[in-house]
């Protein structure tokens, strides 16, 4: 009788433990990692297409960083700041990458406001003037009297007047040629323009198309406080589920660090998912962006300095790119990646 009671008690105890284990391993997507339970389905949008600068997202997916954080991430190819912010605003995406300066400008204009930058992919702006060496353009003042092609409505077009002012030449004496961003390199290769205002990470692609040496004049030489690409999230999501945002940011930064450390593997991973993305071009982009992504003054990778954001806003406002009134807290949440 005593042995029978002990057996029954042991059976009941085992059942309780199994039930408790099942409950503890369930995942409603609001917190916890992804080692067990159902993963939270979310959408992330790249800055623009499937280029080397965005390969870290596919790396985080392939290496299991997103899964470990509790996410099943659908990576969609973005098409620039306006479209990406539209997807954030409509709820089609929970996270997106984009150029921070462009996003600041539209926020300052009151067009998109329900978002905050939560991590910096690039610590400096990637916008630059690029031209082939045979044009004779070697310094900003050489652009006077020339034609400069730029992506229509892009941040590179938006920032050109500020760059010209700080670089010491009159932007009105330069002919700006707004075109589709995908047409830029061909225009330069055919000498249908004198220079491009574009992203410096495409230097290798321009050299390949033009078959000439390329001269790069970075905007950051004069607009040193501007960030490049950042990851943004809806401010409403930050308010309702800060833990989810924190877990995503940490996983994305693991992907970014791995990408910077292993460019060839990162490019191959992206090519696995996006076969049109050429591995050599992606490797070149990753290597080119390393000095722009590296942490500043020993801060953690992805950290955004609040004083620098304030100065970037002041630079954009002071050069007439957007009206006054915008403050750092309206475009960034600095709590996700502390300085150390």
Q: Where are the domains of the chain?
A: 40-124+226-330, 127-221
Whether 17 shows a pLDDT value over 90: the answer reads no
pLDDT for the residue numbered 6: 45
178-182 mean pLDDT: 88
Read off the pLDDT band of 24 (50, 70, 90). very low
Which DSSP state fits 38? P
pLDDT for the residue numbered 16: 39
Lowest mean pLDDT among 7-11, 60-64, 119-123, 242-246: 7-11
Please check whether the two domains, 40-124+226-330 and 127-221, share a CATH topology. yes
Read off the pLDDT band of 4 (50, 70, 90). very low
Which DSSP state fits 142? G
Question: What is the spatial distance between Cα 128 and Cα 140, in angstroms, rounded to a whole number?
Answer: 11
60-80 mean pLDDT: 95
For residues 223 and 340, the model is more confident at: 223
Whether 30 shows a pLDDT value over 90: the answer reads no
Question: What is the spatial distance between Cα 168 and Cα 48, in angstroms, rounded to a whole number?
Answer: 31
Backbone angles phi, psi at 6, to 5 degrees: -65, -40
Q: Sheet of 40-45: strands edge to edge? A: 71-76, 40-45, 95-99, 229-233, 116-120
pLDDT for the residue numbered 322: 85
pLDDT for the residue numbered 81: 85
Condensed to tens digits (0 to 9), the pLDDT of residues 247-275 reads 999 999 999 999 999 999 999 999 999 99
Q: Classify 127-221 by CATH class.
A: alpha beta
pTM of the predicted model over 0.95: no
Question: What is the spatial distance between Cα 279 and Cα 271, in angstroms, rounded to a whole number?
Answer: 7
136-150 mean pLDDT: 96
As a whole number, the mean pLDDT across the chain is 88
- Of 185, 168, 296, which is closest to residue 221 (Cα–Cα)? 168
Read off the pLDDT band of 201 (50, 70, 90). confident
Condensed to tens digits (0 to 9), the pLDDT of residues 317-336 reads 888 888 899 999 999 999 99
Condensed to tens digits (0 to 9), the pLDDT of residues 273-317 reads 999 999 999 999 999 999 999 877 788 999 999 999 999 999 888
Question: What is the spatial distance between Cα 51 and Cα 279, in angstroms, rounded to a whole number?
Answer: 10
Question: What is the spatial distance between Cα 106 and Cα 108, in angstroms, rounded to a whole number?
Answer: 5
Task: List, as one string, the DSSP characters of 152-183.
Answer: TT-HHHHHHHHHHHHHTS-GGGSEEEEE-GGG
Question: What is the spatial distance between Cα 23 and Cα 25, in angstroms, rounded to a whole number?
Answer: 5
Q: Classify 40-124+226-330 by CATH class.
A: alpha beta
Task: Look at the block and give the residue holding tokens 């652009």.
Answer: 143
């Amino acid at each position: 009788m005593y042995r029978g009671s002990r057996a029954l008690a042991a059976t009941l105890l085992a059942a309780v433990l199994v039930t408790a284990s099942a409950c503890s391993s369930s995942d409603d997507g609001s917190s916890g990692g992804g080692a067990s339970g159902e993963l939270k389905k979310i959408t992330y949008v790249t800055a623009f297409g499937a280029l080397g600068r965005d390969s870290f997202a596919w790396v985080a997916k392939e290496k299991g960083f997103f899964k470990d954080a509790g996410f099943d991430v659908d990576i969609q190819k973005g098409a620039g700041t306006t479209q990406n912010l539209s997807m954030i605003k409509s709820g089609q995406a929970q996270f997106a990458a984009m150029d921070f300066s462009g996003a600041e400008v539209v926020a300052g204009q009151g067009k998109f406001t329900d978002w905050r930058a939560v991590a910096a992919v690039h610590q400096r702006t990637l916008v630059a003037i690029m031209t082939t060496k045979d044009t004779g353009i070697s310094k900003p003042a050489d652009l006077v009297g020339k034609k400069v092609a730029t992506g229509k409505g892009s941040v590179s077009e938006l920032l050109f007047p500020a760059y010209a002012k700080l670089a010491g030449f009159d932007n009105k004496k330069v002919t700006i040629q707004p075109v589709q961003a995908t047409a830029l390199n061909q225009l330069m290769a055919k000498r249908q323009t004198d220079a491009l205002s574009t992203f410096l990470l495409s230097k290798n692609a321009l050299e390949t198309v033009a078959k000439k040496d390329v001269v790069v004049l970075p905007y950051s030489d004069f607009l040193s406080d501007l960030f490049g690409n950042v990851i943004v999230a809806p401010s409403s999501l930050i308010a309702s589920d800060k833990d989810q945002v924190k877990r995503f940011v940490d996983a994305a930064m693991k992907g970014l660090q791995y990408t910077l450390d292993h460019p060839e593997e990162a490019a191959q991973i992206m090519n696995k998912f996006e076969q049109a993305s050429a591995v050599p071009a992606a490797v070149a982009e990753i290597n080119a962006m390393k000095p722009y992504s590296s942490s500043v003054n020993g801060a953690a990778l992805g950290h955004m300095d609040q004083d620098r954001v304030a100065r970037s806003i002041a630079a954009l406002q002071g050069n007439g790119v957007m009206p006054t009134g915008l403050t750092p807290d309206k475009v960034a949440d600095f709590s996700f990646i502390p300085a150390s």
